[in-house]
Structure 1
Amino acid sequence: MTGETVIKNGTVVTESGSFQGSVYIKDEKIKAIGDHESFSSPGTIIDAEGKLVMPGMVDPHVHLDDVFTMDSYESGSSAAALGGITTFIDFAWQGWVDETTPWGSAEEAPSLTQAVARKKSKASEVLVDYGLHASVTREDIRVFEELRDILADGITSIKMLTINGVGISNGFMDSVFRFLADKGAVAMVHTEDPSVCGHLTEKFQREGKTDFVWFPESRPDYTEAMAADDAVQMAIESGCKYYGVHTTSKKAADVLVSSQLKHGKELVRAETCTHYMKFTEEIYEDEEKAPLGKIIPPLRTDADAESLLEYVMTGTLDVVSTDHGSYSRADKTKSENWWDVAPGSPSLQYSLPVFHDLAVNSGRMSYSELVQVMAYNPAQLFGLPEKGSLEPGTDADIVIFDPDKEFVVNSKNNAAAADYSLYEGQKLTGAVDKTFVRGELVADNGHIVAEPGHGHFLERELPDWDF
């Protein structure tokens, strides 16, 4: 679809409110919002009566085409489009050497610059727009020279991890924080204490505790809080913007709350994921679902899930993401030992309707608040001022959402490569009707209607977190 389009008679939802009106699209941009009678005659009129017209969702935490997923950019972005997600940010991983990687030595493992180039080369079939985070996994001082070039290339957020295998020490992390603070870039951190988690995992392995109920016990909530406390304190001391990824527990969230109260949200922000509010560790007691629910960090208690939703509602947690990663059911169930099962869950296609059901249909959040945490906030936090909004002049990334349509999640409908879903069999009220990326209709009533390759790589700005 090209030229001029008016989406009329819908409930237009922005981050600040909602009203009955229309959206006028021209030349890939939102030209105006308001009364369609005042718009010039366009080539196409879409009647959205009874439906919501929202900004396309922005997911800043996605894994495609690497060792953490079997999805290609085409399959993963198709799932995103069907789920109302018009922009995602993937990860380019500096190579590391352990039992999970294909590289035989540190010399063979790709540099950060090579990882970025590889990701871009794999994205020719992407349907929606995308950006990249750069992930530092080795303590090599040459990475600082690479980071200068990567930041200049519009990759303005750098991920670090504290876990075994891909994690780095606090000392090296402190150096990265200081470097990023000087540049105004964002540091993202996956926090779990490697010593405690490693010790518990080895202990349970020695004791033959293969049942999945021991998986969350091997990575308890206090290890997430411990590592978060260390990381956020280092970031604050350096003046670096700190973004906590996939917050899973009240203890970890409380660390972030304390830091925000002392130092303000200009330096400390965080996300959680849909599955951490929807599911709990009880899933690990279900023989069939347990391996499918292996996610790192693990699912937590009912109290944690409730606390996370409360923190999203109050704005302590700014973003709801997916941490999408696809595997086959065969891969997830090939071992009876929980430690041999790959972690990850495919969520791009269902995150919006699931969170809508969980937060809005329950009466706990408004549609504008949903737009804040799934579109506006992630766009602002990661330097994408053209995304996550219906402001005239921004990209015409739009989702038309039917709040009353009921459907049952069936993995046979997955666009992602995974042949299962944690949400299998869930009856949801609220479904994506149409998805537009820069004015182009890419998904319509559960079908991909655009040609692969419509999506663009997004060079991102250094963000201002004072909002």
Structure 2
Amino acid sequence: MSVDTVVTNGTLVSSSGTVDGGVAIADGTIVAVGDESHLPAAAETVDAGGRLVMPGIVDPHVHFDGPNPLFDGPRETYEAGSEAAALGGVTTVIDFAWQGATRDGADGRRGTLRDGIAYQKRTADESLIDYGLHGTITREDPDLFAELPAIVDDGVTSFKLFTTYDWGVSNGFMGSVFDRLSELDAVAIVHTEDESVCAQRAAVLEEADRGDPTEYPASRPDYAEAMAADDALCLAVEAGCKYYGLHTSSEKAAAVIERYRREFGEELVRGETCTHYVTLDRSRYAEIGTLAQMAPPLRSSADVDALFESLSRDDLDVVSTDHVAYRRDEKEADDWWDSPYGVNGLQHSLPVFFDEAVHRRGHSPSSVVRAMAARPARLFGLEEKGTLEPGTDADLVVFDPAAQYAISAEDNASEADYSIYEGRSVRGTVVHTMVRGEFVVRDGRVVGDPGYGEFVARTRPDWQR
């Protein structure tokens, strides 16, 4: 038997441990893993040079091209965003299809969720890496419920709701959505901040002319995040609906997720945080101003430590990026309320998190694989992703844990021309990235072709496994 590629001389990192060995790949699939003396001959042998060989990173929370029909959002093309992802070892992303988004400029306030999914699939045809989609619900439209079964059958098996912004929904409507998603065995993913609290705190700050970026976190306090999470979780567990808490930024919000998870089980309750929430704190606003503005905000150093503890206890499952690309001239403002929300971080997320978790806090490389590959793949029904198991997609990252570099926006593949991590020194860098057995990054350079990435239809995930 001969195969296409064998990756040799590596330390294979799974979610449960490490072992020295190699990986054999044929027709885009992993066909054998282990002792190199037992692997088949190959047309090409790739020497990992003693570095780590990990499953490709799965980021279930990115924002690429495909505007929210309710505002003029960022314009990260799939080509630029997927190149940034590949350079950071990310082989699969899950993006958002906004209810009513269309390419032809039709009124998105009347369009359907299926319109948004069709739009997103068309604009994603230049992606370098594989992608899935979340459906994003932006209004209380009863016609939505008739759309959902076919959408789930087509492989979009998770749906985002907001408790804030102009497109946030009421608790009553949210509860009805949870009832329907429970019947369909789909997943609810929720941005939780109490809109009335955030609006009131922001108004107080604006009236007092407290526009310095260091004041921004007070406009979206941690208790507002926790309050909304509590409401949403109460509705979800009553409905028996799988609930995934997005971008958890604070100890208080993490504690709410932990409480419901312990009472109702991990088969119903899961949660994520983001790389920036476990590596940066609110002092970053004094350093780079509104370039660091996202929602929820960066919190205290105590919150950073608490979120790491939640990951260590498995009370939070996933580390994502919530990647949003704006340019510096769009983000910079004298007053924080004049700056849009969202920061880019996809290209450096794996090195930053690996450095923080492994080198600075003493966690294992396997913990990184669990939080950034294995769990997001399993929780969102990406059955062939996030693992080095034979029979799954040959999505691999060769990662040098010792190489040190300083992050600079000059290296950005993203449309964003700044980095929230600017100047940060990290140990660990991506050498090669493979998607379904093909190099998309080799020796730190993009070599893949736009359009190689494919839409991945996801299954209804089983959270009890």
Within the alignment, does 1:72 sit opposite 2:71 as a pair?
no
Within the alignment, does 1:117 sit opposite 2:122 as a pair?
no
Instruction: State how far apart, in whole Å, the 1-side matches of 2:441 and 2:174 are.
Output: 41
Structure 2 CA distance for partners of 1:103 and 1:285, relative to 1, 3 Å: farther
* Matching of residues 238-317 of structure 1 within 5 Å: 238-286=239-287, 289-317=288-316
Segment drifting more, 34-43 vs 223-232: 34-43
- Please tell me whether the aligned partners of residues 313 and 364 of structure 1 are also in contact (alpha carbons under 8 angstroms): no
Instruction: State how far apart, in whole Å, the 1-side matches of 2:106 and 2:446 are.
Output: 41
Instruction: State how far apart, in whole Å, the 2-side matches of 1:300 and 1:397 are.
Output: 34
Q: Give the secondary-structure state (helix, strand or coil) at the position aligned to 2:213.
A: coil
- Please tell me whether the aligned partners of residues 97 and 136 of structure 2 are also in contact (alpha carbons under 8 angstroms): yes
CA RMSD of aligned residues (A): 1.7
What is the one-letter code of the residue matched to 2:91? Answer: T
Could you tell me which residue of structure 2 aligns to residue 84 of structure 1?
89
**Residue 214 of structure 1: how far off its partner (Å):** 2.1
**Residue 312 of structure 1: how far off its partner (Å):** 1.0
Q: Give the secondary-structure state (helix, strand or coil) at the position aligned to 1:399.
A: strand
**Residue 37 of structure 1: how far off its partner (Å):** 2.0
- Please tell me whether the aligned partners of residues 103 and 109 of structure 1 are also in contact (alpha carbons under 8 angstroms): no
Q: Note the residue ranges of structure 1 that are not aligned, 5 or more in a row.
A: none
- Please tell me whether the aligned partners of residues 4 and 25 of structure 2 are also in contact (alpha carbons under 8 angstroms): yes
Q: Give the secondary-structure state (helix, strand or coil) at the position aligned to 1:86.
A: strand
**Residue 455 of structure 1: how far off its partner (Å):** 0.4
**Residue 197 of structure 1: how far off its partner (Å):** 0.6
* Matching of residues 436-451 of structure 1 within 5 Å: 436-451=434-449
Q: What percentage of residue pairs aligned between the two structures are identical?
A: 49
**Residue 417 of structure 1: how far off its partner (Å):** 0.5
* Matching of residues 146-225 of structure 1 within 5 Å: 146-225=147-226
TM-score (norm 2): 0.96
- Please tell me whether the aligned partners of residues 164 and 198 of structure 1 are also in contact (alpha carbons under 8 angstroms): no
Structure 2 CA distance for partners of 1:367 and 1:107, relative to 1, 3 Å: closer
Q: 1:389 aligns with which of 387, 411, 431?
A: 387
Could you tell me which residue of structure 1 aligns to residue 70 of structure 2?
none
Instruction: State how far apart, in whole Å, the 2-side matches of 1:276 and 1:109 are.
Output: 35
Q: Give the secondary-structure state (helix, strand or coil) at the position aligned to 2:292.
A: coil
What is the one-letter code of the residue matched to 2:152? Answer: L
TM-score (norm 1): 0.96
* CA offsets 1:113-170 (integer angstroms, 9 cap, x no match): 1111100000111000000000101001011112222111100000000002120000
- Please tell me whether the aligned partners of residues 216 and 336 of structure 2 are also in contact (alpha carbons under 8 angstroms): yes
Structure 2 CA distance for partners of 1:441 and 1:3, relative to 1, 3 Å: farther
Q: Give the secondary-structure state (helix, strand or coil) at the position aligned to 1:42.
A: strand
Q: Give the secondary-structure state (helix, strand or coil) at the position aligned to 2:37.
A: helix
- Please tell me whether the aligned partners of residues 92 and 130 of structure 2 are also in contact (alpha carbons under 8 angstroms): yes
**Residue 324 of structure 1: how far off its partner (Å):** 0.3
- Please tell me whether the aligned partners of residues 7 and 24 of structure 1 are also in contact (alpha carbons under 8 angstroms): yes
What is the one-letter code of the residue matched to 1:342? Answer: P
What is the one-letter code of the residue matched to 1:343? Answer: Y
Instruction: State how far apart, in whole Å, the 2-side matches of 1:321 and 1:261 are.
Output: 23
What is the one-letter code of the residue matched to 2:339? Answer: V
What is the one-letter code of the residue matched to 1:38? Answer: H
What is the one-letter code of the residue matched to 1:33? Answer: V
Instruction: State how far apart, in whole Å, the 1-side matches of 2:208 and 2:425 are.
Output: 40
Instruction: State how far apart, in whole Å, the 1-side matches of 2:39 and 2:103 are.
Output: 56
Q: Give the secondary-structure state (helix, strand or coil) at the position aligned to 1:46.
A: strand
Could you tell me which residue of structure 2 aligns to residue 10 of structure 1?
10
Q: Note the residue ranges of structure 2 that are not aligned, 5 or more in a row.
A: 68-72
* CA offsets 1:367-402 (integer angstroms, 9 cap, x no match): 111111100000000001100000000000000001
**Residue 301 of structure 1: how far off its partner (Å):** 0.5
Instruction: State how far apart, in whole Å, the 1-side matches of 2:106 and 2:122 are.
Output: 23
Instruction: State how far apart, in whole Å, the 2-side matches of 1:7 and 1:104 are.
Output: 47
- Please tell me whether the aligned partners of residues 439 and 448 of structure 2 are also in contact (alpha carbons under 8 angstroms): yes
**Residue 337 of structure 1: how far off its partner (Å):** 2.0
**Residue 207 of structure 1: how far off its partner (Å):** 2.2
Instruction: State how far apart, in whole Å, the 1-side matches of 2:113 and 2:334 are.
Output: 35
What is the one-letter code of the residue matched to 1:45? Answer: T
What is the one-letter code of the residue matched to 1:19? Answer: V
Could you tell me which residue of structure 2 aligns to residue 328 of structure 1?
327
